[in-house]
Amino acid sequence: MYYEIKYDGFRCLLYIDEEEIDLYSRNLISLRTGFPEIVKEATRIQNEYNEDLPILLDGELCVLESDIRASFSQIQKRGRLKNIEKIQQHTLLSPVTYLVFDLLVIGGKPLKSETYINRKQQLQSWMNKMSYPTVNHDFQTSIQWIPPQSDGESLFNQVKSKKGEGIVAKRKNSLWISGKRTPNWLKVKRLFRGFFIVTGFDEGNGYVHIAVIKDKKLEQIGLFSHGLEGKDREALIQIVQNNQKGRKGTLIKVSPGICVELEFLELYNMQLRHPRFVQFRLDIHWEDCTWEALQTQMDS
């Protein structure tokens, strides 16, 4: 196995030939107009290194916060922009870096059927030729690349300590397979844990509403459903139905009292990303599920 840092961004293919440059999302929607700084650098490749064309790269469009971490909120903002003038302004305010992790075609030669490690070696050779660095937040280059590492445990601990998203484990003999989940590439995400107050259950979609106490008030902080299964789900539904204080459509509201422990990826706009149920916490009083306690748990 080899291991790479996983960055929070938009998965993207970059295609360059003598006449065309385009960025494609995973479902083959063009992203070209939204990221002119990447197109500008691709144009330089097109003009100065046409012996390497056509070329097809696989990577992640990211707004880097460090060599380990990318900003989900910033790349989301960039992705929503449609006005050309505003997009140009944000190339200075929140410049995007294309972090390449795979080489699929070079000089018109397809590499998808070659092994991961062979593709990576050819990618490294080409990146060195182009003087593109491995991921470096302080080195302002629009194209950089993600190197493989052999010590997954050490890399994951490094990612955890700097609050990165996680790592990807890749089998060295794996092939590149389009649009499919494969056991040859395994994501290992760095997750936080915290304690939350149940405030309701939606009978329509099966989601549980949760909150923390912030400034002496209940602050709604998200919904969850994943991980809550079998007897735990049945018990929660029964408790909510027996202790409801009101309804709003299919949402059953309850007074504070039930506490749960959840895993989650991060907080974004005061909402949990990818929360998952861990367990009920009958030993935790709901008044201890505070915003300050959550921040302490995330920093530990």
Q: Which two tokens stand for residue 4?
A: 């790479």
Q: What pLDDT, in 10s, does the model give residues 249-276?
A: 999 999 999 999 999 998 988 999 999 9
Strands 143-145 and 97-106: parallel
How many other CB atoms sit within 10 Å of the CB of residue 79? Answer: 15
Task: Give the separation between CA 296 and CA 299, rounded to whole angstroms.
Answer: 5
Q: How confident is the model at residue 5 (pLDDT cuts 50, 70, 90)?
A: very high
Q: What pLDDT, in 10s, does the model give residues 32-71?
A: 999 999 999 999 999 998 899 999 999 999 999 999 999 9
pLDDT at residue 179 greater than cutoff 70: no
Task: Give the separation between CA 210 and CA 218, rounded to whole angstroms.
Answer: 9
What's the chain's average pLDDT?
A: 93
CB 4 within 8 Å of CB 167: yes
CB 90 within 8 Å of CB 81: yes
The closest alpha carbon to 103, from 116, 93, 88, belongs to 116
- pLDDT value, residue 177: 80
Q: Where are the alpha helices (DSSP H) in 17-144?
A: 36-48, 72-80, 84-93, 116-130
Instruction: Report the amino acid identity of residue 220.
Output: Q
Q: Which two tokens stand for residue 291?
A: 């915003």
DSSP SS3 for 118: helix
Q: Which two tokens stand for residue 245?
A: 């204080």
Domains of the chain listed by start with CATH number: 8-148 (3.30.470.30), 192-299 (2.40.50.140)
Strands 251-254 and 192-202: antiparallel
Percentage of the chain beyond pLDDT 70 is 99
